[in-house]
Structure 1
């Protein structure tokens, strides 16, 4: 919170309109905190809003977020004027002007005199020479007005903002004098009288801003903004790298197509053109999609970086009141921003181009009808927890049961997947894999030749199912059909698919096998009771390690072993997006929630969510929703943490 000169002192970028690229004139706020000249945003609105339709919104020129006007927006030509003025930026412009050039005494100007000003009244927002300052202090009404030195403002010694007059956005001309704690909102006298007279906690604005810059909220806000900016930078780089890799794949495929063409000579000229057209078309569509993903992320990052600029400038150069206003505005936008981020990430898929070449095409030119088939394979990307995402209290939040799905079985190995739009469960009693809607309605069934034990996702459309016969079934989750099987000689109950390998768990042995060939690639031993496991990658996994212990191993080293007398026979283990682990203890009838370093957070009784022996727990991706299966009753309860 130092006030000495640093990089944030150069705030010219914050004072420049991104439309006209000039210093702001009549700066206006949008809800997303981007600021524009009134005339610039007015021109933009008139050029983008269809006058022939009854419109109530327009999009921010930078982040494309919808800006909703009031219920009676009136003529679009008046929208820009109705937007709230950015008093903070206006104040920073005043300060900037003082630093750039010599300011003359305002009182002397009234008398047609010209004298250099030496101080500024932050209440009257007028500059005075030494004589006029003395007169100003001599009047009873202005004797206690704060006076600051213009020299101190110019050398950055003065942290008081140039003008301390902050006006209400709801009542023109009214100065903010109080703060409603109930609504987290600064208010003027009219606001307090008309809208907040029934509020329990209304305090003075001086009390509200006291210590705000050094508060815990301030520290957390700073950390959140910077973490989010870094995460978005990493994601943007990831998208750009993937785009480069994709284009390399396309180049390799085009080379292969050309080689095949050379071998097949003139006969394939026509179908060569067809396959190339399909490749180029798919490439064009995919490159456009990937580029748009990067653009969306850059827009989100632009928003966060803008918030950081506002935050830093207000922190170093704003008053406590202005600082409070700005962090309130940022806080109000965090949830909406988190929604926008999750929405953007839900659309992101890694896309690879595969050419499934016809074997005949490579050897027998006269019998080839087509060269091959172009496929764009989309795979989910890993989405980090966003710092500005919705705040879920995973440690202390209440657990609500959303619905119960009864598979009408008992003493059953019941595992499952929490898909985007469906649930998929394995029922060892009926030898079936079942697909349910999120409403709990059965959609499809797939009968297997022996009892399924566990299930894990391979990609967006394929899943693997382990069985008691040392066979792993690969199924299509869309049409619920069997694709092929992977035979293995190693015992398996629970398992995980990571980077082209399966990690198999059974009693006291963990075995790594190639997911295609079933050939062993590694093996490790545990103390026992390793029926199910969770793996972040092939060298970072957590599983049962004895009857009342769960251990996490990273790079062949145990980083922790969690033991509890109320933990008996650990089974399903999973992680939420806050990186807390959940352990189903089926014999002790509870679920243990622990931190990523093995510290107990809480023990959740299974009866509190309507089951008896929890077997498997799975979270929906990037969500506070999860389901737990019950070994004894064959029920599945879908819950959420709030």
Structure 2
């Protein structure tokens, strides 16, 4: 998405700020930002998917909210009802928006300084002067060719004009009560020709003001908005509580984990210390036994070596040495009988709580109480409009506005 360009920066008024290409079927928003029909339509659809029951969208540049003017359930159609920007279409088709088109038709290239909305042409300073002098053009609406003034003025013109939505070259002059729709004289001769209740705009406005319909609608909308504000505030309070609760649960979980870690560290230390103590104790026992048996083995080796050596001695020496070796070995046997053969094996048996802990799948269960209740809003007394159908009820209404048709067709 293109970032918003400051109003003091130069801006190509014929380029879409989303796709950075020349406008294709430009559509203008109430905030005066203009986008290609396809660009704004795609944006509306994508942004609507992130909301529940969307009723509008925010401008991609300034974020101003734009309410839907058509079927709220069908965001794909919202862009179709946005007013077109014929001026930019005209600038694109005419090519160079910086040249005066009347002069260009005379093969003169003069820089344009203003845009005439009535003629839908860029005009130079001299042509602007002539525009103001000639009776037929002095009332034309013009503005300086500077962004955003040009687009802003066109936006105000587009949103506040009296053009017929179906026939842009005609002004709305009638109101059909059968269809609750404003229309031009051309509409009246076609789609509303047989409608029973068609009146002039002036009569419809006078009747609406006389019956207090406007004030009633203001009251209904204000009450409706107030109820929505109450619901929104409750939802915001709920959201704040949800954030606080979730934050608290996160902190409690972290604290629990720290306590579990500390307890496990304590158990681990005690267990390792116990292993060390027991291993040292029985290591000492085995070491002493091994040393004792080693000494006796060496003692036996010496006896064998002495017996081997006395074989070459005299009989007297042989007998003397033999008796000594025999008595020594007998004494060794007597001092060995009380010794025990040690066998030490360590084994760790995991306690059942630890085994159960390994089977633990979650620290705690999280319960969500989510209720979806219908909005308890009072029924607003809004008069229903008929379906958008141009089928006539009866052939009785044409004469009521024949004089307006005559005025429009024969006087122009």
* TM bracket (short chain): 0.3 to 0.5
Structure with more helix by fraction:
2
**TM-score after normalising by structure 1:** 0.28
Structure 2-normalised TM-score? Answer: 0.39
The structure whose RCO (Cα within 8 Å, separation 6+) is larger is: 2
